[in-house]
Structure formats: C-alpha cells, structure tokens
Amino acid sequence: MVGYLLDRFGKFGWSMPLAIFTSSMLRGSYHLYQGFGPFIGNAVMGVVFAWLYTKTRRIMPLVIAHALLDIVAFVGFSLFGRAVGLG
C-alpha cells in the first residue's frame, strides 16, 4: 500500500512530506480497532516505511519487516502475555 499511495500521490502533484503524512495516517487509522496506542505505533511505522520506500523504491524489505514485526508480536504475546497479565 505504501508504494501505491506514494506513487499515486506523487502523480497528483502532492509534496513528499504530505504524501508520507497521509499514507501514515491512513495506515494508523485502519489499526484503530486495536486502540489508540497501536494507532500511534502504526502511524510511526508508516512514516518510517514510507521514508524507506522513498529512499529505496523497494517494497519487499518492507513486507519482510512487517512480517517479522507481526511474528514477534504474536509469538511474544502468546509466550509472555499471561506472564505480564495481558492474556
């Protein structure tokens, strides 16, 4: 989604900071069902991923990074969630 949005916003004539901000806010907004904290975390991750995409123009490293983040979060929660009173 990052690559598509940044390319599309560029074709609309948007500045790169505006495109990155809008893309990251959209990314955060579709995680609002998880709460406000995950919204902020995903919006920040959206800024980092969008910035990296502007530098490399490559999507696969972002896909791999996102998969690793999800794996660590899900495995970490299943292993340690009950230990810290979250599960």
Show the domain range for 15. 2-58
Tokens of 62: 């972002």
Report whether 69 contacts 31 (CB < 8 A).
Answer: no
Report whether 35 contacts 26 (CB < 8 A).
Answer: no
Residue 70 lies in a domain: no
Residue 15 lies in a domain: yes
Residue 77 lies in a domain: no
Residue 83 lies in a domain: no
Total domain count, the chain = 1
Spatial CB neighbours of 78, under 8 Å, sequence gap ≥ 6: 87
CA distance 76 to 87: 11
Residue 87 lies in a domain: no
- pLDDT, tens digit (0-9, with 9 covering 90-100), for 49-84: 999 999 999 999 999 999 999 899 888 888 877 666
Residue 72 lies in a domain: no
Query: 57 in the Ramachandran plot: left (φ > 0), alpha (ψ -120 to 50) or beta?
Result: left
Residue 11 lies in a domain: yes
Residue 64 lies in a domain: no
Tokens of 39: 């919204």
| pLDDT (0 to 100) of residue 86 | 57
- pLDDT, tens digit (0-9, with 9 covering 90-100), for 26-56: 999 999 999 999 999 999 999 999 999 999 9
